[in-house]
Amino acid sequence: MTVDWFTDRHSFLLAVVLYGASMVYSVFLWRKGFRQDDRVNYLLLLTAFGFHTLALFQRGFSLQRCPVNNLFEAMMFFTWATTLSYLLVGLLRRFRFVGAFAAPGLFAVGVFALMPSLDPPHGPKPEFTGALGSLHAALILLAYGAFGLAAVAATMFLTQQHNLKFDKLRAVFSLLPPIQRLDVVTNRVLLVGFVLLTLGLAAGGHLPRPAGVTYWLDTKVLWSAFLWLLYAGLLFSRMRFALAGRRFALGTIGIFLFMLLTFWGTNLLSALHHQP
């Protein structure tokens, strides 16, 4: 008889510990002012991502499905998607500074997700399984991760803009990256998230569902479509009307906060996503 002493929660715990180490190391990046490429923080997050991925595979294989059934699994997948988005962006050396700001959020969400009450014992397996369902969930959650990184970059943009407006000397020696780079990062990561969200919604439209349930009338799908319209309007305004700077940053942060505040409520109201 074998004993499962190293479970998915243990793997995720190791990932959270490494996110915490990255958060602590980020203090040193702040002290350096992001003036040089530092691979240590990137490697810490890459190692954390490895344990995080292992946790997802362990949970997924044990349930024979994509693990997004309760709040613990949703938060675990969300932080995984955010980390993956950063690691892809961080392949470009000039954008690696974003990890110093993402690490505290990843650590905080990870600690909260580990609360036992968020991961109750599983009952019957969810009805929707299969490769297409896993693809749908992965694309949507990767989009959420990209939107989170865009919100982080937008927050840094507003901070740097405040420095420039009220204390020019302070801005010259600011610890934050140049404001133009922050604006570009916000726009590009937001665009990636929008494409992923579009593909995820399209994949979800082809999933099997119970008789009498219409995909495009489901609460969660309507919420996702509304989210898609908000981001589409923001990106269109930037391309068509040159919306940039403070307004674009505020829009990015505002939509992401709306997503965070309404995500789980709409999930509970959804006939397709809520599992009793």
Residue range 126-136, pLDDT digits in tens: 444 455 666 67
Instruction: Please count the structural domains in the chain.
Output: 2
Last residue of a domain, one of 119, 148, 175: 119
Last residue of a domain, one of 90, 119, 148: 119
Identify the weakest region by mean pLDDT among 85-94, 171-180, 231-240: 171-180
Task: Give me the percent of the chain exceeding a pLDDT of 70.
Answer: 72
Q: pLDDT band at 1, cuts 50/70/90?
A: very low
Based on the domain organization, do 71 and 173 belong to the same domain? no
Supply the pTM of this predicted model.
Answer: 0.63
Based on the domain organization, do 163 and 233 belong to the same domain? yes
In this predicted structure, the answer to whether residue 27 has a pLDDT above a threshold of 60 is yes
Based on the domain organization, do 69 and 162 belong to the same domain? no
Q: What is the mean pLDDT of residues 37-41?
A: 73
In this predicted structure, the answer to whether residue 110 has a pLDDT above a threshold of 70 is yes
The amino acid at 276? P
Based on the domain organization, do 68 and 166 belong to the same domain? no
More confident residue, 205 or 253: 253
Based on the domain organization, do 175 and 48 belong to the same domain? no
Based on the domain organization, do 155 and 90 belong to the same domain? no
Based on the domain organization, do 243 and 183 belong to the same domain? yes
Reduced to 3 states (helix: H, G, I; strand: E, B; else coil), residue 128 is coil
Domain hosting 2: range is 1-119
In this predicted structure, the answer to whether residue 88 has a pLDDT above a threshold of 60 is yes
In this predicted structure, the answer to whether residue 186 has a pLDDT above a threshold of 90 is no
Q: pLDDT band at 33, cuts 50/70/90?
A: low
Asked if the structure places residue 140 within a domain, the reply is: yes
Closest C-alpha among 131, 268, 263, 244 to residue 183: 244
Distances in Å between the Cα of 173 and the Cα atoms of 34, 98, 163, 167, 238 are 11, 18, 10, 10, 29
